């Protein structure tokens, strides 16, 4: 009985010792530091980055003509189809010609009468001259014959002018389009008597070239000037941007345009500055008053630094990135960001060429912590040339507004 009690105590002591041993080992294991986190980094490089600026714009006909009747009379017939494309010189309306044909005939008869009277006066003058030279007729008779001839000649010229006026009025009965473009609705119906009060018949809007207008705010214009003065933006020579048109479905218009006009002053109601682009539109794809987007290409940001957007963090004191030093330790670095560029930020201040910035794995980082740098993914490279999110205003070719 005593031996059993001794054996039991011995086994209990051994079990307690093992428990203490294992607990001590687990505690030591829990005190072991976790491995450094893996992060993806990019090397900061400075490079000239081509940029383009995007705006909402609206199209406008480069030449919209009001088709007016030039003479009073009855509208005989509309020839064109409303809303169709017409060529320059194509007939649009016909007015009743009969009254004007009568006027032409009357003017022709009057001209013939005056020519006959002039011929009679000419012959009389030819007979009077030799007789006056031989003193068979007085000087007064010669003067009367000369005056009658000159009066008849003047009457002929007046009759010619009246005939031309009558012929011109007759030609106005055929109303044609002065430009190639798209027609509007007919404002007057067949059979209507046309006078000065209702003389407008329709409109024709030229489609090629077509104008594309967009506006810049005063803040955008000032931002542009500041960036140009600081050297952070280099614009094309003479403001010669290539302008790409983006249609409502996101497709690109096949023709590029140029800036041809800048308003001489700001709009007092909106505080914006009007810029006009002229672009060829031979197929009439663009129509007046259509909303599109324009991209101005040709500007460059020299020695720019681009960082992926996911690398930029927001803290209590502003935006920052994690920078890896030569000892593979990370520290937060405050930065000043500029415009968006595709999936990247332009960095204005805070970074320099050759530094390494963490792009992935930033959530577990703490200042001074070591990290394991792994190879950058394929999409960690700088984005292809794209559109900046905040546009800087351009300068028009015409030079109306020079920064």
The residues of the chain that CATH labels 2.40.50.100 are 70-96+173-198
Q: For the residues 173-202, what does the mean pLDDT come to? A: 95
> pLDDT grade, residue 376 (50/70/90)?
low
Residue 232 has a pLDDT of 87
Chain segment 281-295, per-residue pLDDT in tens? 999 999 999 999 999
Tell me: pLDDT of 316 over 70. yes
Residue 50 has a pLDDT of 92
- To the nearest whole percent, how much of the chain has pLDDT over 90? 65
Q: Is CATH 1.10.40.50 what the domain over 52-61+208-300 is classified as, yes or no?
A: no
Q: What is the 3-state secondary structure (H, E, C) of the chain?
A: CHHHHHHHHHHHHHHHHHHHHHHHHHHHHHCCCCCCCEEEEEECCCEEEEEEEEEEEEEEEEEEEEEECCCCEEEEEECCCCCCEECCCCEEEEECCHHHHHHHHHHHHHHHHHHHHHHHHHHHHHHHHHHHHCCCCCHHHHHHHHHHHHHHHHHHHHHHHHHHHHHHHHHCCEEECCCCEEECCCCCCCCCEECHHHCEEEEEEEEEEEEEEEEEEHHHHHHHHHHHHHCCCECCHHHCCEEEEECCCCCECCCCEEEEEECCCCCCCCCEEEEEEEECCCCCCCCCCCEEEEEEEEEEEEEECEEEHHHCEEECCEEEEEEECCCCEEEEEECEEEEEECCEEEEEECCCCCCEEEEECHHHCCCCCECEEECCCHHHCCCCCCEECCCCCCCCCCCCCCC
Domain 38-49+304-388 is in which class? mainly beta
The residues of the chain that CATH labels 2.40.30.170 are 52-61+208-300
Residue 108 has a pLDDT of 97
**What mean pLDDT value characterizes the chain?**
86
Q: Tell me the CATH number for domain 98-171.
A: 1.10.287.470
Tell me: pLDDT of 26 over 50. no
The residues of the chain that CATH labels 2.40.420.20 are 38-49+304-388
Residue 230 has a pLDDT of 87
Tell me: pLDDT of 98 over 70. yes
Q: Which of residues 366 and 22 earns the better pLDDT score?
A: 366
Residue 393 has a pLDDT of 40
> pLDDT grade, residue 3 (50/70/90)?
low
pTM greater than 0.75 (yes/no):
no
The residues of the chain that CATH labels 1.10.287.470 are 98-171
Tell me: pLDDT of 148 over 80. yes
Residue 386 has a pLDDT of 54
Tell me: pLDDT of 229 over 60. yes
Tell me: pLDDT of 395 over 60. no
Domain 70-96+173-198 is in which class? mainly beta
Chain segment 244-265, per-residue pLDDT in tens? 999 999 999 999 999 999 999 9
Lowest mean pLDDT, pick from 101-110, 291-300, 391-400: 391-400
Tell me: pLDDT of 398 over 60. no
- To the nearest whole percent, how much of the chain has pLDDT over 70? 85
Residue 342 has a pLDDT of 84
Residue 208 has a pLDDT of 93
């Amino acid at each position: 009985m005593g031996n059993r009690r001794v054996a039991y105590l011995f086994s209990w002591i051994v079990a307690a010792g093992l428990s203490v041993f294992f607990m001590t080992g687990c505690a030591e294991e829990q005190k072991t530091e976790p491995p450094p986190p893996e992060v993806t980094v990019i090397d900061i490089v400075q490079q000239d980055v081509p940029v383009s600026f995007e705006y909402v714009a609206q199209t406008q006909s480069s030449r919209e003509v009001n088709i007016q009747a030039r003479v009073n009379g009855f509208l005989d017939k509309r020839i064109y189809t409303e809303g169709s494309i017409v060529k320059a010189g194509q007939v649009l309306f016909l007015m009743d010609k009969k009254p004007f044909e009568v006027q032409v005939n009357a003017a022709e008869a009057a001209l013939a009468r005056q020519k006959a009277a002039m011929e009679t006066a000419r012959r009389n003058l030819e007979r009077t001259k030799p007789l006056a030279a031989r003193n068979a007729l007085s000087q007064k008779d010669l003067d009367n014959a000369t005056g009658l001839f000159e009066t008849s000649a003047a009457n002929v010229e007046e009759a010619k002018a009246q005939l031309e006026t009558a012929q011109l009025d007759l030609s106005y009965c055929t109303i044609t389009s002065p430009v190639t473009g798209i027609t509007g609705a007919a404002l007057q119906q067949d059979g209507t008597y046309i006078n000065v009060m209702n003389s407008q018949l329709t409109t024709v809007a030229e489609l090629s070239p077509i104008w594309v207008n967009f506006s810049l705010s005063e803040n955008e214009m000032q931002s542009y000037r500041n960036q140009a003065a600081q050297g952070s933006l280099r614009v094309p020579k003479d403001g010669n941007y290539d302008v790409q048109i983006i249609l409502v479905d996101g497709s690109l218009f096949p023709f590029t345009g140029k800036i041809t006009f800048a308003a001489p002053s700001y709009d007092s109601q909106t505080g914006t500055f009007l810029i006009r682009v002229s672009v060829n539109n031979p197929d009439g794809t663009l129509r007046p008053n259509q909303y599109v987007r324009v991209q101005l290409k040709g500007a460059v940001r020299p020695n720019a630094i681009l960082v992926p957007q996911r690398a930029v963090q927001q803290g209590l004191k502003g935006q920052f990135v994690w920078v890896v030093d030569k000892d593979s330790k990370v520290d937060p670095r405050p930065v000043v960001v500029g415009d968006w560029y595709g999936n990247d930020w332009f960095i204005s201040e805070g970074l320099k060429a050759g530094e390494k910035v963490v792009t992935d794995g930033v959530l577990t980082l703490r200042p001074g912590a070591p990290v394991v740098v792994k190879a950058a993914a394929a999409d960690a490279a700088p984005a292809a040339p794209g559109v900046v999110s905040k546009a800087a205003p351009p300068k028009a070719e015409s030079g109306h507004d020079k920064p």
